[in-house]
Structures are given as structure tokens and as C-alpha cells.
Amino acid sequence: MPEPLPTILLVDDEAHSLAAMRMALEDDFECLTALNAEEATALMEEHYVQVIFCDQRMPGRSGTEFLTEVRDRWPETVRIIITGYTETSDMIAAINEAGIYQFLTKPWHPDQLLMTAKNAADLFRLNRDHERMSLEMRYLSRSVESKLEEQRKALREGLGFENVLRAPNSPLNALIEQARQFASFDVPVMIVGEAGTGKTALARAVHYGSLRSDRPFHEINCTGVDDAILEIELFGAKRGAVPGIQANKIGLLQRSDRGTLFLNGLAELSPRMQLALSRVAIEGRFRPIGSHEEMRTDVRLITGARRDLRGEVAEGRFRSDLYFALAQASLALPPLRERAGDIAVLSQHMLLDAAAAHGKPVHGLSDDAIRFLEHYAWPGNLRELENEMIRMLIFSQDRILGPELISRHILQAAPGRPQASPAVDEVLTSSGTLKERVEQIEMRILRETLTRLKWNKSRAADELGLSRVGLRAKIERYAIAEPGKASQPEED
């Protein structure tokens, strides 16, 4: 039984042009014809179309606009546009917006039209064959649908709440349970926390725990971004409305439609941007730059702020309507200094990730190293901890990384709870006698030097300009103990 002819859709508002194209192609293709985009869409929904030839200038929706919809709904269909206009700007817009495979200009020659159609059909077939072979290799005997569903589930779990690392008794547990509840309700969520506490990861987890998990997740940090640039990124811009942009720019609000957009740095928004966003948050409407028409967006907004904005609302520095529209649900992320019990899990995970990324295998951190890390306040939160793990990995020579690799300012932190001891600058400017303040600094220097030199007292005494006896006396005076040992044996 011969194979069926490939199906091709011809779209043109002029009936004689459709008749001419059909005459040139009907021997080699099953031809469908439509006089406008609406008719063409209906045919696409009913038939398996491999190739589309579409006129650019048509009443109602243009060819570019129609093929843009085709790209989103039927991305495998090869799209070709026919135009009697050859302006460069139109060509660029079509390529960017609709993913055009090829242009044909009027008047076209029948042989040229037929050759283009055959090449497009071959491209469609090759893409389908490649996709089929890839699926066969990846899924083997397992069905495509079940494997795809497993992949979606793995994606949701891998980017969901399980990806927010914490210890079994972490203070984050209650917050995560609250976030799970918020995720299942399609309401805006505001996440408040210091820089580097993991607001983006939590926002992503809320998205992948929601009914929008199969839709796109986009994020943008508004901190330090000029209003003009932020407007373009969020709302988009029409061709020619902004210098340097030669094609329509699709903004994040449009790209995130039916998905989630995470706006971080909310507290830094200018009054102008607060006003612009208030209509999006309240009505779901926005206007691209240079456009005379408003657009609607069904986007879930998740926002991040470094501080609670209620005080700024009360003082008039932040719009109350925008705040209450975005804070229907709110989550307060604790800083890392309040999560000392999570340090071991986080640091080991970050270290192994860095080792895999840089091709330097290690087995982990020693218990003594973890204890030092747990005693530090981490003002930079997760980012500072990740940087420290990379630094330790760079200087490591053993598979188990010890405390001697830790940065000096971290080693100088006093043992006990994080922030149990003030910073050096605070010691210098604090109250107390000169002797008391000098002793606090001296004790930190001794602990840091001994740890960094792996408690080799001869080297420590030499570096500090002390005798062995003098060093031992200071160790006993300040009750500095080598981690994991009850007594300090005399070894070099």
C-alpha cells in the first residue's frame, strides 16, 4: 500500500493565489486551503499538517501572527511565509516571532514553490525520525507516555520542596509545610528573607508544587535594574518603540502566561515601577512599550523582598494596594545563622556539587570542620557558604577536608552558638577595659593559628613569635582545646 501524501496547508486571502499554489503542488501533496488565519487554525486542529505556506499580508491576523500561534501549538510543523514585501524589519520580526523556516517572495515560480515544499516535507520527516529514534534509544521498552510522566514527576520533585536542603529537625520544616499549602492555592506569595537565604529556590519549589508545574517558571531580580530596562524585560516592547530593538520584544509577563513569574528585589522598586506593577497584580493587565493595546496575562506572581514591607507601607514608601495584592500569602525565610543545624547538610552537599563541577573528587568535611562552620554567623548566608566550600575545595589535598582549610575570619569565630562572639570591629569599639578587649582578639588569633596549622605547636609558636612554653601558657589561660581531644600532647 503506497504511503499517503504529505499534507500541506496553503493560507492566502486571494483565491486565485490559492488556486495557483494548489495547481503547482497537488501532484505531490495533499493540499488544504484557507482564506484567513481563523480558517487555517480550524484545519490545523482537524488535520495532521507537515508544512504551511502562509501569506504575510492578510486581513485580520497577519501571517507572522498566525505562524507564531502555530509555533506554540504545533511546533513540529514547518512554517514558510510568502510575501510581496521584502522589508528587512518584517523578515526579522517573522523569524523571531514565528520561527520561519524560509521566505518566498512574490511572484514565485512553480518549480521554486514545489522544491521549497519538498525540502520542507523532508525536514519535517527527518525531524520526526530523529525524535522517534531518540525516544526509542532513551525509553527502550517503556512507553513514551509513562516515561514522560516519570520525567515530569522527577522534574517537580527535583526542583520542588525536596530540593530545599535542610536537616530532619530544621527550623525550615514548619515553613516548608506552610509553603506546600500555599502552593496548592493559586494566589500570589511574598517571600521575605535576607539576601542569599534561598528565596529563588523556595519560589521555584512553590511553582513546581502547584497546578502550574507544567507551565514556564521565569525569574528576574529587580535590584539595581534601571526602570527603562526593567519595563522592557517585564512588559516587552513593540518594534521601533525602543532604540536598538528591531523586532517585537516579548516581555516576561507574556512569556510567563499560565505559569509563574518570580520578582525578586521587590523592596527596591521605584514608585514608577510600583505603579506599573500594581495594575498587573490587581487586574492582570499590562501594555507593552509602544503599544496602544492592553494585554492580559494569567500569571502567578511570587515576589521576594529582603525585609518586611509593612513598615514601608505604613510610612508611604511602598504602595499599599500593590503590597496587599502581592502578599495574599507570605513566607519568612530565616537567615543561615538561625539554621546552625542545617550547616552540615548544606556544606557537604555544596562541597560535593563543587567537586563534581570542577572534577576534583573529595569525600566530604571532617567533623571538626563542620563544627567551626556551625559556629560562624554567615552574614552572606547560602552564597557565602557556597563560596567557602569552593575555596576549601581549591586548596584541599586530602579527600576529607579539615578545619585548617577554612578562611581565617571563620576560624576566629568563638565556639558556641553563631554570633555568640562579636566581630573584631565590634570588639575594638565596644566597652570594657583595654586588657579585656585585647584578650578577646588574642584568643581568636591563637585559635585560628592553631587550627590552620593543624595544632602543630612548634610552627604556631614560631609564627606568633612565642616560645613553646609561652604558647602553652596562653592555651591553658584561654582554655583553648583541640577539637576532638581531651588533652593536647606535645608534638611537632
Domains of the chain with CATH codes: 7-136 (3.40.50.2300), 162-334 (3.40.50.300), 336-421 (1.10.8.60), 422-492 (1.10.10)
Which residue did the predictor score with more confidence, 464 or 45?
Answer: 45
Cell of 439: 584578650
Going by DSSP bridges, is the β-strand pair 364-365/295-296 parallel, antiparallel, or unpaired?
unpaired
For 271-300, write each residue's pLDDT tens digit: 999 999 999 999 999 999 988 888 999 999
Q: What is the mean pLDDT of residues 69-94?
A: 76
∠391-396-400 over CA atoms, to 5°?
A: 115
SS3 202: helix
CA-to-CA distance for 139 and 133, rounded, in angstroms? Answer: 10
Grid cell digits, residue 62:
497577519
Which cell is 54 given? 502562509
Cα separation, 124 vs 120, in Å, equals 6
Residue 94 pLDDT > 50, yes or no?
Answer: yes
Q: Which three cell numbers stand for residue 248?
A: 517585537
Side-chain half-sphere CA neighbours of 255 within 13 A = 19
- pLDDT tens profile 200-222: 999 999 998 898 988 889 999 99
Residue 486: predicted pLDDT: 44
Does the pLDDT at position 67 exceed 60? yes
Using H for helix, E for strand and C for coil, what is the string for 278-297? HHHHHHCEECCECCCCCEEC
Predicted pLDDT of residue 86: 57
Closest C-alpha to 32, from 84, 85, 77, 76: 77
d(CA 110, CA 17): 12
What's the confidence (pLDDT) of residue 462? Answer: 76
pLDDT confidence of residue 329: 94
Please provide the average confidence, as pLDDT, over all residues in the chain.
83
- Claim: this prediction has a pTM higher than 0.75: no
More confident residue, 136 or 112: 112
